[in-house]
Amino acid sequence: MKDNGIILFDGVCNFCNASVNFVIRHDRQGYFRFAPLQSAIAADLSQQYGFDTSAQSSFILVENGKVYTKSTAALRVAKKLNFPVRLLYIFMIVPAFIRNGVYSWIARNRYRWFGKKDACMVPTPDIRSRFMI
């Protein structure tokens, strides 16, 4: 999987699932692979890279042997997507403490605003190959 970025996402979060679907629609090259934070894949990656899946609020990007979280992960994902979404990467110029403050505020409220499922999403057959389950 060194040739692909791996997005670990909260599989029961409606907002996170919608975000994954957004990435799939705008990632025409098929660069990203996906796995729920609640999966064995995420547990294996957390041991390999030394991060705690329970301490993260919504998603983690593993790319080229590095782990990115919060707004940095989101903006690095945007950078790989098709135009005009990739233009969001310009927000990297905003200091991380400001970006992460906004990110954390959304993450804290995501269940209340968007709801949550009882179980992780099940990918449709046409995109199942992009999921590492």
Q: State the pLDDT confidence band at 132, using cuts at 50, 70 and 90.
A: confident
Backbone angles phi, psi at 6, to 5 degrees: -115, 125
Given a contact cutoff of 8 angstroms between Cβ atoms, the answer to whether 81 and 26 are in contact is yes
Q: Exposed, middle or buried: residue 4 (CB in 10 Å: 0-12, 13-18, 19+)?
A: middle
Q: What is the CB neighbour count within 10 angstroms for residue 64?
A: 7
DSSP-assigned beta bridge partners for residue 35:
8
Greater pLDDT, 1 or 110: 110
Does the pLDDT at position 2 exceed 60? Answer: no
**What mean pLDDT value characterizes the chain?**
89
Strand ranges, E, within the chain: 5-9, 32-36, 59-63, 66-69
Region for residue 71 given its phi and psi (left: phi exceeds 0; alpha: psi -120 to 50; beta: otherwise): alpha
The pTM score is 0.87
Where in the chain are the domains? 5-127
DSSP-assigned beta bridge partners for residue 69:
60
The percent of residues in the chain predicted with pLDDT above 70, rounded, is 91
pLDDT reported for residue 87: 97
How distant is the alpha carbon of residue 72 from its chain centre? 11
Does the pLDDT at position 133 exceed 90? Answer: no
**Which tens digits make up the pLDDT trace of 67-123?**
999 999 999 999 999 999 999 999 999 999 999 999 999 988 988 998 887 766 666
pLDDT reported for residue 88: 97
